[in-house]
Structure 1
Amino acid sequence: MPDHDVLIVGAGPVGMLLACLLRQDGVNVAILERRVDADARTRAIGIHRPGLDALDAAGLGQAVRAEALVLDGGDVVSRGRTLASLTFSEDRPVLVLPQHRTDALLRRRLEELPGGGILEGRTVTGLRDAGDEVTVVADGPEAPTRQTAGMVVVADGVHSPLRASLGIRWRRRPGSGAYAMADIDDAEAGRRATLFCEPGGLVESFPLPGGRRRWVVRTDAPGMDGTVTADRFRHAIETRTGVRPRLAPGEDPTSFTVAQHAARSFVRGRIVLLGDAAHETSPIGGQGMNLGWLDAVRLAAEILSTRPGRMPELAGWDRRARRSAGAAQRRSLFYMAMGAPVPPAAARARESLIRTLGARPLRRATAGLITMRGL
């Protein structure tokens, strides 16, 4: 008999949410995490309807609502003109909460449930699927460990070494770009987001809880070669939007490159890929973490509806998860195209399209796409 019903590799927000969903229904779940301390970076901030439903199902939706900022809506601007204004309805809210706080709430919920906490400092070095169980070998703080599980869920992120070791192909999908971001104090942050789809490249401005604001700048644009310092970041925002954010001295932005990928299959025998280990979706549009949570809810439902000791039939889950990932990546590709650097003629055509999408007949449908309706 295996040591665990399910063993999860990776204690990110997706792995922890799946563990909560399973533990609260009595499933024997272990979580192995290579880190020994919490990730304090802000990272993902947006929680859409599918994500909020997942958090509710895991028993921490109210805790998240108590800390999160609820966006009233957003405006799309170009060359000083507002092209579209959207309001998010109560049934399709967008909440904003820095990921380190979401992670902390997930950890606290895990500690409330039977089954123990996260086994930290464990780097999984091998998986062997024997047909009736999976053996998991991990380096630990003192010595290597060996455990068995009826099913292993790999949720160890975009650069998953385990996905590669399983020989699962990591396929590139359209959509890429380079960006820089910084979170700064802003007492007048408000509750509306602004997207500046400027000819020189995208600038995003999102209010955060606690009187702060996130700025994101597209950097694969003319004049942005090299290291993006605080001065260059501030100058790019001011040049494109006319706004001069107040970055603290030495508060250099974080640079990152966006790419999109998907595993050819999310299931290999008794081993399942979940979250960023299964699909990398551009953070432009804020879908990645929420998509992982949606996959986790559906996976938990399959596990809980299967007789104990049996491996769920996951072919249907695999197809649905890959379809959802493909749809999210196509939406992200569109969002990135709306923020790419373009010449004036192309900027005018893009502005016309944005006006059309924000017009009254299409406004509700556009807001639905932004809030992950249909995934």
Structure 2
Amino acid sequence: MVAGAGPVGLFLGCELALGGARVLVVERLTAVDETIKAGAVNIPSAVAFYRRGLLPAMAAVWEAARERMRAFGKQPTIPPKFAGHFAGIMMDPALFDGSDPAWADVGPAAEAGLGVPQAELERILAARAAELGVEVRRGVELTGFEADEDGVTVHLSGPEEIRAGWLVGCDGGRSTVRKLAGFDFPGTAPEITGYQAVVELTGSERLGAGWNTTDVGTYVHGPFPGRVLSVEFDGPPGERSAPVTAEELQASLRRVSGVPEVTITKVLSATRFTDNARQATEYRKGRVLLAGDAAHVHSPFGGQGLNLGIGDAMNLGWKLAAVVRGRAPESLLDSYTAERHPIGAWVLDWTRAQIALMRPDRHARALRRVVTDLALTTPGTTYLVTQISGVWQRYDLPGDHPLTGHSAPDLELADGTRLGDHLHTGRALLLDLADDPELRARAEGYGDRLDILTATCPERADLTGLLLRPDGFVAWAAGDGNTRDALTDSLERWFGRPASRA
């Protein structure tokens, strides 16, 4: 069972279904939450969606968003690539050097430039979940559970009681699952009150477009009509759950911007946020696991939380499905925390660094000027964009080949297909690039767990074979024929013993 039908819970449900597991997703909200939240998809998320055939739907949403941005900026065109920002310091795409090897062979996902509002992403994933037969129950809230060695008894509003083999909390930063299971959740205390909203307003002529830093804090106007954001360093909000009023938003925007005539006449969507940064020390306690904001919270700058959660779901889905189906031991799930926790810790520090640069005190502002100067150089832009994009992310997996542990390069094969085209089913893939019968023989007995593809890639003559996990990360790679024993070890490590020896 998955608690929470936001993007992370829905994507996890899809991954579990692709792995052959029966899954129920429960969500207390009766409909998609239209509140403005994350609006950007990074490279690992775009690659994940591409590998599951979801990129065209998301690209259509991004194109519609670009039309709105054109109208707001009164520009005939909007660049297809958005380099992003660091603490509101905007990156110039013209300064970016894409020759870094980390960007090699990313494929269509690198060109997507996806600015997808979270609500639209949720709708796309809900449709995909329905196609895969995932049961999603809305208006149903998890109220408690008891876990034992064999499973979890889950109590739902209604009341209703369901027995499940596993429970995954994807129920947000105030996760009921995390609290009831007793996960440790250490971190740093909040120091800001932030608002993000879509409003109707007047008197906005003197508001600067984009990100603006003032003596009081930071505010954003755009990139589409009515979107505003303000940040003040006066501590966390007193009441997070109360509705955000027009008066509250207007007062903050006036204080930060110094534009007293700006008036908010109607609130269409609004949320408060802060920079509370915490991370569960482990993502699994027995039969209970966490993913997304339930496992880690931080300030929302850059949309890192959504993308971090999608990565969690992509990593966990196939592993949990394999355990549920009896194709892998429970110990496989230990790799979930081992692989995802370091990336989560990096994101928390990345957001903390941005808060430090956004503070209104003189020391922080002096440091911000230095960082801005560095950011507006080709090396600085390239470093920051690479970090923001997430293209650097890898896992520490056994093996000596440089590709091992990295997201697989999206190779263009001789038959005109790309490697990502062969990953839509969510199964592992052994790619034989040397027409090697012995290599393929090593995978005998794994027919229910992986596909074998014999192909050629003229541009990568240095590669003879790749073993890809269902999440598209390279578990084994070879440039010659002398590492087949390592392939056997990798197959057993990730997919258990072959059927002939099980």
Of 29, 54, 72, which aligns to 2:82?
A: 72
Change beyond 3 A, Cα 1:372–1:214: farther
Q: 2:229 aligned with 1:216, yes or no?
A: yes
Q: 2:266 aligned with 1:250, yes or no?
A: yes
Partner of 1:129: 147
Task: Give, in whole Å, the separation in 1 of the partners of 2:249 and 2:5.
Answer: 32
Any idea what SS the aligned residue of 2:171 has? coil
Counterpart amino acid of 1:145?
E
Deviates more, 1:176-185 or 1:228-237: 228-237
1:158 shift after superposition: 1.0
Query: Would you say the 8 A contact 1:202–1:218 is kept in 2?
Result: yes
Q: 2:320 aligned with 1:320, yes or no?
A: no
Task: Give, in whole Å, the separation in 2 of the partners of 1:336 and 1:17.
Answer: 30
1:236 shift after superposition: 4.0
Of 164, 176, 182, which aligns to 1:161?
A: 176
Query: Would you say the 8 A contact 1:13–1:103 is kept in 2?
Result: yes
Task: Give, in whole Å, the separation in 2 of the partners of 1:257 and 1:83.
Answer: 21
Provide TM-score, normalisation by structure 2.
0.62
Partner of 1:369: 387
Task: Give, in whole Å, the separation in 2 of the partners of 1:96 and 1:83.
Answer: 16
Query: Would you say the 8 A contact 1:33–1:121 is kept in 2?
Result: yes
1:45 shift after superposition: 1.2
Of 247, 252, 268, which aligns to 2:285?
A: 268
For structure 2, list consecutive stretches of 5 or more residues without a partner in the other structure: 66-79, 99-108, 202-208, 240-244, 394-502
Task: Give, in whole Å, the separation in 1 of the partners of 2:318 and 2:306.
Answer: 19
Percentage identity across paired residues of the two chains = 24
1:372 shift after superposition: 2.5
Change beyond 3 A, Cα 1:77–1:178: closer
Counterpart amino acid of 2:197?
A
Task: Give, in whole Å, the separation in 1 of the partners of 2:166 and 2:85.
Answer: 45
Change beyond 3 A, Cα 1:349–1:156: closer
Partner of 2:377: 359
Deviates more, 1:334-343 or 1:304-313: 304-313
Q: Which has the larger radius of gyration?
A: 2
Give the alignment's Cα RMSD to 1 decimal: 3.3
Of 267, 284, 288, which aligns to 2:305?
A: 288
1:257 shift after superposition: 2.5
1:323 shift after superposition: 0.9
Task: Give, in whole Å, the separation in 2 of the partners of 1:149 and 1:305.
Answer: 16
Partner of 1:190: none
Of 360, 363, 384, which aligns to 1:341?
A: 360
Change beyond 3 A, Cα 1:329–1:151: same
Partner of 1:4: none
Query: Would you say the 8 A contact 1:230–1:247 is kept in 2?
Result: no
For structure 1, list consecutive stretches of 5 or more residues without a partner in the other structure: 1-6, 187-192
1:271 shift after superposition: 1.1
Counterpart amino acid of 1:332?
T
More strand by share: 1
Any idea what SS the aligned residue of 2:38 has? coil
Counterpart amino acid of 1:181?
Q
The total of aligned residue pairs comes to 348
Task: Give, in whole Å, the separation in 2 of the partners of 1:42 and 1:201.
Answer: 21
Task: Give, in whole Å, the separation in 1 of the partners of 2:52 and 2:161.
Answer: 29
Task: Give, in whole Å, the separation in 1 of the partners of 2:127 and 2:20.
Answer: 18
- Greater relative contact order (Cα 8 A, min sep 6): structure 1 or 2? 1
Any idea what SS the aligned residue of 1:251 has? strand
